[in-house]
Amino acid sequence: MRATIRRRSAIGVATLAVAALALSGCAPAAEDTAATGDCAAYADYLGNEGTEVEIYTTIVSPEADLFQESFAEFEECTGITINWNGSQEFEAQLPVRVEGGTAPDLAVFPQPGLLKKMVETGKMVPASDALAASVDANYTP
């Protein structure tokens, strides 16, 4: 049970890291004003009001509730909406969505076999150098 909780926690942290770094591609030009106060951590994401980002995952309620709550400050500070889409049909539906042109912005893969299959489609976007560095610095294999 503890291993499952740790794994889910790791997935959650990875999701947040991926979301934050993926959203960095939406970052405005340097001339945008910096955030102040509690929103200073999100200064790189200002100027993206109205942007929506979908995270597709196998994590559903009640576990998903905490993940969704964790995005509240980010959403309030940046105006970016995080649409958490947890599905128990993730493994069956992700390939369908990718082939149909409705792939999510971010996906949290529960197992490496499906990730490998999705990479082989040629439709995946490679992780940025910043994301790779963050994973190397903060996670163990």
For the chain, the domains span 2-124
**Alpha carbon of 11 to those of 63, 111, 120, 136: distances in Å?**
11, 11, 22, 15
pTM of this structure: 0.67
Mean pLDDT, the chain, whole residue set: 80
Q: How many CA atoms lie within 13 A of 123 on its CB side?
A: 17
Percent of the chain at pLDDT above 70?
74
- What is the maximum alpha-carbon separation in the chain? 49
Question: How many whole angstroms separate alpha carbon 25 and alpha carbon 103?
Answer: 17
pLDDT of residue 16: 47
In which residue are the tokens 């128990």 written? 88
Q: Residue 53's CB: how many other CB atoms inside 10 A?
A: 19
pLDDT of residue 37: 60
pLDDT digits (tens, 9 = 90+) for 52-65: 999 999 999 999 99
pLDDT higher than threshold 80 for residue 19: no
Q: Which residues of 88-123 are buried (b: 16+ CB within 10 A; e: fewer)?
A: eebeeebeeebeeeebbbbbbbbeeebeeebeeeee
